[in-house]
Every structure is written in structure tokens, then in C-alpha cells.
Structure 1
């Protein structure tokens, strides 16, 4: 079962200071996970975790990860700007983008970020927009179906990301002719896997490709980015990945395939946004209404604006009634206030007896939670609170106000 990282007494004190709803992050847990990831891949001297900023784009969180020797992976110029302002150096910033605007490539070049090109056609686009850097990476999409044994994990052929093998090989050759000197390989073949076999299997495919690139093109890669894909178990079973076993699995394949080919110098990179943060975030919300019709509805002060995944993907997020954790179970739908019937955090859910005023914790909101927020119905994005290692709590992003919502409008004076 899922256990909150905050006690009932701690949360009572926090909600007395900060009105719900809000996202609460566990600093201690974030640091422990970052250290575990770095330890799992410490066998590789050049290893670097490039945290996917899109998962949790908050400067305080990014500073914590930088202190734990992580880099960042950015997808837009705004994420690049935030990372640069936080203090990440050029070697600590990766830029993986698709359908990219020329000014975004230009800014990535300006701050020295490592550019990972999504399409073969982007080579000419980048050259025109900002010039070809000495260090560049290409994103591979093998097509077909990605499976582990008999289990189909994802369908790369349906993905808009990456380039074919033929395009990849031609791309390296073109880039070398245009002056590039340092090359990387990147691939993302499955999302949110809960298995210790995904990374070693992916690594095996990419390591074979690295050997082929050396043999056919005479180009030795300097780094291979395994991207994301290692997920978390959102279910109440809470059977999480073993990052130490995953790291050792990649190590084994590295020694088997790359070292004999004279490629033991290759650095391994990862982009573990979800794994790094999801379980270290709670969406904290209070019950506003209880409604009885054909079902029992628990109406809370949060909605899909604050956590979109259940509405968008029908994703499961465990819920704890921290006010009455041991009450008799009732079958309920936990819902928000939006004028959309999919604004539900849970459907036909077994929740301890819940009354108006109770505090609920929606688990695993630390990644792709606040960051996917929006303003439908004029609902405003919530605050973000950090539970510090010393047990204190501080606001790291205030809640939006109506003034924020109206601030970009022309012809509307909020103060009149």
C-alpha cells in the first residue's frame, strides 16, 4: 500500500499555514533517489542524469537536483532559460526538442547546451538557424514494436519522435562533414515501464548500433543517452523498480558489447524525470462536498487543473484520507469542479469514510503534476510547497491569482 511521506500532524500544521489545494514535495526523498541513481551508474565514469525539466519545472527542485550532481534535459527555450538561470553549466544542459523553432536552437547554441536532434531534416534546419556545433546527438526510432519477451511495451513506429536507422547513419556522416567532432546517440522506446529489464534491453540495442556506427562510418560515439522510460508503480501494490539492479544490468551489457569493441570510453546518460520525482510529490486537497445520486461523489477543492493525468489518461493515483485513514471503506468517485465529466481523480474507488473538511492526499503527483496544469473554467494553478529535510515547510511557488489570469489580456482592466 502507499504510505504518505508526511504525517497527519505535519500536514495539519502545513494546511493551517497554506490553503489547499497544493502540491507538496519531499526534499529528503528527492535527494535519496538522486543519490541512489548516481550510485547505480557510478561504474561509468562519465555518467550523468539529465533530469527532464518538463516533469517538475520548479527552480527550487532543480537546485536540489543540481546539488545532487544531476544535469537537466530541456524541451523548450523557456526550460533552457530556467535551467541556465538556476546555474546549470553548458555541460549540464541537454536540449531534446522536436518541431523546434529557429530561435530555440539559437538560444541552445548561445548557452552551450548539448543539442539532440529529433529528425534528419533538422540538420539543415539547425545549420541555417544557428550553425552546427562541435558536439551533437541524434535521436533514434527503430520503428516496429518494442517488447520484452512476450510483453509489448510500446509502438515506436507510431511515435513522432526520432529518425530511422538509415537517416541516423546518414546524419552522422553529414554532421562529421560539416565539422561536428563529438557525437551522441539517444532513444526513447517505451514510457513508464515498471520492470528492471527495460534499460538493459534498450541499452543492448543501442550498444549494438554504436558498434555498427564505428564499423561502417568510422565514428566513435562519446555518449549514449538511454533517455527516460523507467517509471513508478502508481498502483497500491507499490512494486517499484530496483535502480541498483537496473544499473548493474546496463553495466553487464556495456561490458559485453562495448568494451570488446573498443568503446569502453562511452559515457552513459539518463533522463529520469518521472522516476526521480513522481513518488516524492503529493497533491493535498480538502473535501468540499459529498453528493449522493447514482454514485457517491466526494467533491474536493482540487481538479484536473492541478493534476491532469487521471482525466487525460484515465491514470490511477492512489488516494489516502489522512483525516480518517482507518474508517470503513466506501465506494466513491473523487471529483473536481470542472465542467467536464472526466474531471475525476478516482472512479468506483474504495476510500475510508469521508466527510466534508477531510484532507485527502493524492499520491505520486511529483512528476507531470503541476507542470501539466492549465486554466480551463478560469480555475487557477495551485501553490507548490517543499517539505524540507528538517521537517519544516516553505512555499516554492505561490498559487495563481485572478490578477495573474487576467494579466495577459488587452482591453480588460482588472482594477475597474
Structure 2
């Protein structure tokens, strides 16, 4: 069973200052996980993790990861700005975007970030806008279906991202003609994989392609970016990824493909978000209501605005009733929020201990793509974010929104006067 990284006693104390719902993050777990990732890839001298800011865009989290040696993967202007404010610059930033606005490219160039081009047409676009940087990266899409051991993992051919095989070879030739000196290659072929074979298989694809590109264009690769896609197990009792086995699998492919081609000095990059943060975040919510109709419903003070994944994808998130961890799960409930949408459910037909009004629920694995996917439908307000520090104390790292925040972007003077000037 999944165990929370917080106890009922800790949460009761925290709620004296910060009412539910809120997201809470485990600093100790985040740091230990980052250190294990670096150990798993320590065989590669240039290895660097570029944390996907989109997963958990909070400066306190980014600063923790920076202290652990990580860079950042940004996909927008505001993510670049946030990263700059946290002290990231130059080669600490990977800018991977698509349908990219001018101001985003300009900011990336200003910061000296690695720019990862998503499309062949963006070569001319970037050149005319602000020039081709000395080091540049291109994103590859092999098309078709991506399989491991005859199991379809995802369908890159339907994805909007990346260059085709022929485009990427011509793209590197053109970038070299335009003055680029050093190059990187990137691909993201499957999301949330729970397989120690995903990264090694992706590495073989990219390593083989890099050798071919070098032979046909003469470009020198500085790095190969395996991007994200290494996932976590949301359901208890299921197999989990072994980052050390994954690292060794990539190492084997590196030695077999790149080293004989004279490319043994190429750095390996990753852009993990979910793997880095998801297990180290909980959504904490309090039971407010019951509903006894055709099913048994438990109503909580969080909703899909706080965690979209179950409503959007039907995703499973484990639930623990604090203080009842050892009680039998012999009651069947739908756990719901208060949105005017029937898919606003954190769990459907979930077997849990007997629940009472006031019980505190932990919704697990919300540390990535949890708070960050929040929204304001029905006028719901985004929750606070709290960091459980290594010494056991709790630090508010983002306050909860207020109605004044919701109204702040309206040009509607009497609402502004009523709510923002208090």
C-alpha cells in the first residue's frame, strides 16, 4: 500500500494555519530522488537533468532542484521568466516549445538557453528573428507507433511535435550552414512509461540517428536529450521503475553505439517532471458532505480545479484516510468535488475505510501535473502549496487564491474597489 509522507498529527497541526485543500510537497523525498537520478547516470560526465517546469512551477521547488544540480526545461515565456528569477541561466535552461511566439524565442536567446527547435520551418523563423545560436537542438519524431517487446507504448505518428527523419538530417545541415557549431537532439516518444526498457530503447533510436546525422552532415553532437516519459506507478502494488537499471540500460546502448562512432564524449540530458516530483506531493482535502442516492458519495472541499487528472484522463490516484490507515477498506464510495460537472470525481467505486464528516484524505502522487493544471471554473480558487521541510516544519510556498485574485484582471471598478482594496 502507498503510505503518506505526512501523519494525521502533522496535518492537523498544519491546518491550524492553512485550511484544506492544499498541496504539500516532501523536501526530503525530492532531494533523495534527485540524488539517485544523478547516481544512476554518473557514468556520463556531462549528464544533467532539466526538470520540466510545467510539472510543478513553484520557485521553492525549482530552487531545491537547482541545489541538487538540476537545470530546467521551459516551454513558455513565463516559465523562462520564473527560471530566471530562481537563478537559472545559459546552459542550465533547455527551451523546448512548439508554435513558439516571438517573445518566447527572444527571451530564450537573451538568457543563453539551449533552444530545442520543434519544426523545420522554425530554423528560418528563428534566424530572421534573432539569429541561430552557436549551440542548437532539434526534436525528432520517428512517426508510426513506438513499441517495446511488441507492446505499443504510444503513437508518435499522431503527435504534433518534432521533425521527420529526412527533415532532421536536412535541418542539421541547414543549421550548420547558418553558423551553428554544436548540436543536440531530442525526442519524447511515450508518456508515463513504467518500464525499465523505455529510456534504453529511446536511447538506441537517438544514438543511432545521431551517428547517421554525423556521417551525413558532419555536425558534432554536444548532447543527446532523452526528454521525459519515465513515469511512476499510481496504483499500489504495481511494478515500479528502477532508475539504476534504466541508467545502466542507457549506458549499455551508449557504449555499443556512440563510443565506437567516436562520440563517447556526448552528454546525456533528461527532462523529467513526473518522475522527479509526482510521488512527493499530496493533495490534502477534508470530507464535508455525504450523499446517499444510487451510490454512496463522499464530498470533499477539493475539486477537479485542484487536481484535473482523474476528471480529464480517468487517472487513478490512491487515497488514504488519515488515522485510518490500518482499518479495513470495506466501504465503497465515489469521492467527489463540488464542480457542476459529473466527472468531478477523485475516485469511483473506491473501497475505503468507513468515512466520517471531518476526516482528512490524502490524495497521493500529485507532486507533478497536480497544482500546475489547476483552473478557475465555477469561480473556484486555486489552493495553497506547502513544503514539508527536512526538519519536519511546514512552509507556505504559495498562498491560496482569494476572490480578489479572481477579480483582479477585470476592468470593473466597483468589484476592484470592493474586493481588492480591503
Q: Same fold (TM over 0.5)?
A: yes
User: Does the CA-based 8 Å contact 1:290-1:298 persist in structure 2?
Assistant: yes
Which segment is superposed worse, 69-78 or 214-223? 214-223
**Between Structure 1 and Structure 2, how many residues are aligned?**
416
Q: Give the distance between the partners of 1:308 and 1:366, measured in 2 at CA.
A: 13
CA–CA distance in 1 between the matches of 2:196 and 2:385?
A: 32
CA-to-aligned-CA distance 1:65-118 (integer Å, 9 cap, x gap)? 000000000000100000011001211001000000011101100111100000
| 2:79 paired residue number | 79
Corresponding position of 2:361: 360
Q: Secondary structure at the match of 1:374?
A: coil
Per the TM alignment, residue 355 of structure 1 is displaced from its structure 2 partner at its CA by 0.9
| Structure 1 spans left out of the alignment, 5+ residues | none
Give, in whole Å, the separation in 2 of the partners of 1:200 and 1:225.
12
Structure 1 residue 383: Cα displacement: 0.1
Q: What SS does the aligned partner of 2:168 have?
A: helix
Please give the secondary structure, in 1, of the residue aligned with 2:206.
helix
Determine if the alignment matches structure 1 residue 166 to structure 2 residue 166. yes
Q: Residue 403 of structure 1: CA displacement?
A: 0.2
The structural deviation recorded for 1:277 is 0.1
Aligned to 1:221: 221
Shift, 1:188, TM fit = 0.2
Asked if residue 130 in structure 1 is aligned to residue 135 in structure 2, the reply is: no
Counterparts of 1:150 and 1:175 in 2: how far apart (Å)? 36
Q: Is the contact made by 2:48 and 2:268 (CA closer than 8 Å) also made in structure 1?
A: yes
Equivalent residue of 2:51, what SS? strand
Deviations 1:371-403 (A, max 9, x none): 000000000000000000000001000000000
Alpha-carbon distance in 2 for matches of 1:117, 1:55: 21
Structure 2 gaps, min length 5 = none
Contact kept? 1:213, 1:220, Cα under 8 Å? no
Post-superposition offset of 1:278: 0.1
Structure 1 range deviating more: 346-355 or 233-242:
233-242
TM-score after normalising by structure 2: 0.97
Q: Secondary structure at the match of 2:245?
A: helix
Stretch moving more, 392-401 or 324-333? 324-333
**Quick check: 1:307 aligned with 2:307?**
yes
What is the match of residue 370 of structure 1? Answer: 371
Distance 2:16 2:320 in 1: 19
Match of 1:17, SS state, is coil
CA–CA separation in structure 1 for the residues paired with 2:352 and 2:382: 26
Given that 1:191 and 1:230 are in contact with CA atoms closer than 8 Å, whether structure 2 keeps it comes out as yes
User: For residue 235 of structure 1, what is the aligned residue in structure 2?
Assistant: 235
- Structure 2: distance between partners of 1:115 and 1:80: 12
CA distance in 2 between partners of 1:149 and 1:250 (Å): 17
Note if 1:114 corresponds to 2:114.
yes
| Contact map agreement 1:102 1:130 (CA 8 A) in 2 | no
In the TM superposition, what are the counterparts of 1:263-342 in structure 2 within 5 Å? 263-328=263-328, 329-342=330-343
Q: Which residue of 1 aligns with 2:380?
A: 379
Q: Distance in 1 between matches of 2:151 and 2:255?
A: 26
User: Which residue of structure 1 aligns with residue 250 of structure 2?
Assistant: 250
After superposition, where does 1:35-114 map in structure 2 within 5 Å? 35-114=35-114
The aligned counterpart of 2:151 is 151
- Shift of the alpha carbon at 1:294? 0.4
Query: Which residue in 2 is equivalent to 1:392?
Result: 393
CA displacement at 1:209 relative to structure 2: 0.5
Q: Distance in 2 between matches of 1:205 and 1:276?
A: 24
Secondary structure of the 2:221 match is coil
Q: 1:49 to 1:116 in 2, by over 3 A?
A: same
Partner Cα distance (1:147, 1:13) in 2: 48
Deviations 1:128-175 (A, max 9, x none): 222111110000000000010121000000000111011101110000
1:412 deviates by 4.0
Q: Deviations over 1:164-216 (max 9, x none)?
A: 01110111000000011110000000000001000000000111001101111
User: 2 CA distance for matches of 1:131 and 1:413?
Assistant: 48
1:202 equivalent in structure 2: 202
- State whether structure 2 residue 406 is matched by structure 1 residue 405: yes
User: Helix, strand or coil: the match of 2:396?
Assistant: strand
Aligned to 1:10: 10
- 1:13 deviates by 1.2
Cα offset for 1:16? 2.1
